[in-house]
Amino acid sequence: MQLNKLLIITYYWPPCGGPGALRPVKFAKYLPHFGVQPIILTRKNIAYHSLDEELSQEVKNVQVIRTESFDPARLFYLFGMKKYQAQAWHMPIRQTIHFPDNKVGWTPFAYTSGMGIKYDAIFVTAPPFSSFITAYYMARRTGKPLILDFRDAWLEYPFIPYKGKAKKTKSR
């Protein structure tokens, strides 16, 4: 199989900063050196704790498709908040109402947009782990190869641990 176009599904992409955005940017930056054209599928701007406007300069010639999302970070952004700092009292709410994570509101938008793109394979990086679910269903429907990039362990994710046997079982 010749790989010409690689769809990269990543929730974190500039102007977000930090490792969640840095890793896929560096990956996309060097793919063209190997004859692979990256196509980025990400969300529209969100309220986020780390912003890096200059990071996108490293991948100026990469096609980026930004979708809507119905997740807290996007909603905060739409209400005028550009930077978000998590508070301790947010954690129980995040653990209760969101599964597998609080970015699951991006899933239907990413899936719908992704199904309209022509590509040879799918590369998805997570967290958020709901991105894996999106990519899985896209790969299953299209028959395209799927590459999963675990930046963190899913079940032992330290930032939003899965509490209770039911959530852990469902995650497995």
Determine the distance from the C-alpha atom of residue 4 to the mean position of all C-alpha atoms in its chain, rounded to a whole number: 22
Does the domain at 5-171 match CATH 3.40.1350? Answer given as no
- pTM for the model: 0.83
Ordered per-residue pLDDT tens for the chain, 172 residues: 677 999 999 999 999 998 899 999 999 999 999 999 999 999 998 888 888 989 999 998 899 999 999 888 888 888 887 766 666 655 565 555 566 778 889 999 999 999 999 999 999 999 898 999 999 999 999 999 999 998 866 655 555 565 667 666 666 6
Q: Per-domain residue ranges for the chain?
A: 5-171
Burial of 9 (0-12, 13-18, 19+ CB in 10 A): buried
Distance CA 10, CA 21 (A): 8
Distance CA 17, CA 52 (A): 5
